[in-house]
Every structure is written in C-alpha cells, then in structure tokens.
Amino acid sequence: DARVTQTPRHKVTEMGQEVTMRCQPILGHNTVFWYRQTMMQGLELLAYFRNRAPLDDSGMPKDRFSAEMPDATLATLKIQPSEPRDSAVYFCASGLISLNTEAFFGQGTRLTVV
Amino acid sequence: AQTVTQSQPEMSVQEAETVTLSCTYDTSESDYYLFWYKQPPSRQMILVIRQEAYKQQNATENRFSVNFQKAAKSFSLKISDSQLGDAAMYFCAYRKGTYKYIFGTGTRLKVLA
C-alpha cells in the first residue's frame, strides 16, 4: 500500500531551535508539495518540487524556512530559527502530476513551538 | 488570482440522510481540475472525488457525487446515505494543469446518529 510518509508525527520545540521535517514521497512520483495548515490561514502552499527541482517556494518565509530534495526518496523542510507562529501542521504531498492525477498526502507533522 | 470559497463552516446531517456541501471558485482559466478532500480527526487528507473541467458529466464515486456548474463556477459535493464515518472536515480544491492546489477553508461535517 503506497503512501507518503512523514516524520516526525509530532514535534515540540523551543523557540529558536532548528526543526527538520522529513517526507518520503510515493515511489515514482515526480512532484512534491509542502503545505502548512493553521486554523487562521487554512492550507497554504509553502513549496513545490518537480523532478526534485524547486518550482515555486513563494509561499515560504525565506529568512527562516528552507526546502530541499536531496534525492527522489526524501524531501525536507527546515525552520531555523523556529518561532511560536510557526506552530501548525505541515503536510507533504506527492503526485505523478504529468498524468494529471491527484496528489497523495502524508499524515502531517504537528509542530508546536513554545 | 484563483480563489476557492466554502461558505459553510459547519454542516450537520442525520445518519442515512443526504447532505450537500457548497464550493465556489474564481478563475479565468478554461481547463482545470477540482477536488474534494476529506480530513478526519486522524489528519490524513483523503481524496473523495475529482472533476476535470472539460468534462460535462458530473463525477460520481459510490455515495459521493458532485454538481459541477462551470459557468457559475460552482462545485458542490453531495453525500448520500450519510454514515458516521463521513464525519470530517471537507476541503474543496482547485488545480490548474500540473500546478499547485488552492484549497478552500473547509466545511466541518457532523453526522448525527
């Protein structure tokens, strides 16, 4: 049963600390998205990769956030330094968008910055 | 810019009854995709149904169907024979071609036994 795997599921950290969230997309998928979900803003796109190359990261605060795909099986989202306003659920999704299919979401990482 | 609006923050339905969730969107494009995703308390985003804008026929998946009105830019979800397991947040989403998804703010559906 192919699925997008995100780690960790939950993370509590102190303000100022570095946070790294990881995502393993479904094997063979060529597109990876990072979304952030908050009560106030809903689901916001942070970054979007196609064939490991970043296509759009305009939704991501550049001064503290960074997203990478070191290889086809791993996508990372880092926050350094973290702030309380970064508390949210972060979702990774992958898809084979060239076939115009839907994106499949991971279960998300719930981040709490205290 | 494209936007997706879900005007019903919360809806309730009696078990076995039918409920319709509303979604409108704004776009100047003619070719795009629309989706309904379900998010239960587990947080997992699950695809419920998808609709290609070039298709006139409304999509159907078992108890779930849509009413796609392209001219009115409306994309509502009908859930028939509601079950307790249908209780969740439902998000309407728009996607242009191979690009990013734009989500609505969601509708929380409660199913009453």
pLDDT of res. A98 = 65
The answer to whether the beta carbons of residues A94 and A27 sit under 8 Å apart is: no
Q: Which of A48, A91, A98 comes nearest B45 by C-beta?
A: A91
Q: Which two tokens stand for residue A38?
A: 């908050």
Residue A50 has pLDDT above 80, yes or no: yes
CA A85 – CA B5 distance, rounded (Å): 25
Residue A103 has pLDDT above 90, yes or no: no
Q: Which amino acid is at A88?
A: A
Q: E strands of B1-113, at which residues?
A: 3-5, 10-14, 19-21, 24-26, 33-39, 46-52, 60-61, 64-69, 74-79, 88-95, 101-103, 107-112
Using pLDDT thresholds of 50, 70 and 90, give the confidence band for residue B46: very high
* Residue A57 touches chain B, beta carbons under 8 Å: no
Using pLDDT thresholds of 50, 70 and 90, give the confidence band for residue A61: confident
pLDDT of res. A101 = 73
Task: Kindly state the average pLDDT of the residues A71-78.
Answer: 96
The chain B residue lying nearest A43, using CA atoms, is: B103
| Residues of B in Cβ contact (< 8 Å) with A56 | 99-100
pLDDT of res. B50 = 93
Using pLDDT thresholds of 50, 70 and 90, give the confidence band for residue A62: confident
Residue A111 has pLDDT above 70, yes or no: yes
Handedness of CA A46, A48, A53, A56 (dihedral sign): negative
Exposed / middle / buried, residue B37 (Cβ in 10 Å: 0-12, 13-18, 19+): buried
Using pLDDT thresholds of 50, 70 and 90, give the confidence band for residue A35: very high
Residue B53 Cα distances to B32, B66, B74, B75, B88, angstroms: 5, 12, 11, 10, 26
CA A107 – CA A90 distance, rounded (Å): 9
Task: Kindly state the average pLDDT of the residues B62-78.
Answer: 97
When mean pLDDT is compared across A86-90, B17-21, B50-54, the lowest value belongs to: B50-54
